[in-house]
Amino acid sequence: MVKIKVNCFELSKSRILAGYTVAEFAEKIGCSRQNLYMIESGKTRPTPALSQKIAKILGIQFSGIFSIVEGE
């Protein structure tokens, strides 16, 4: 099974530098504020599709925030 590992600090920093609040960014990527908070705090992992969407909207490479972990 493929899972996505998040660099929480880089995700939060990238969102803030892009000028989004948690609420604005959650709406932009199509998830709840609570879910985005859980992702940014490392309490949950995004799906591969959501992680790609996040990277695209922030205009950064996937590997700048996320890494793929297999068989965890």
Q: Give the per-residue pLDDT at 70.
A: 79
Structural domain total, the chain: 1
- Domain extent for 61: 2-70
CATH of the domain at 17: 1.10.260.40
Q: What is the pLDDT along the chain (72 residues), one digit of tens a residue?
A: 778 999 999 999 999 999 999 999 999 999 999 999 999 999 999 999 999 999 999 999 999 999 998 765
Q: What is the 3-state secondary structure (H, E, C) of 2-55?
A: EEEEECHHHHHHHHHHCCCCHHHHHHHHCCCHHHHHHHHCCCCCCCHHHHHHHH
Q: Give the per-residue pLDDT at 27.
A: 97
Q: Give the per-residue pLDDT at 44.
A: 94
Structure tokens at 67: 């890494």
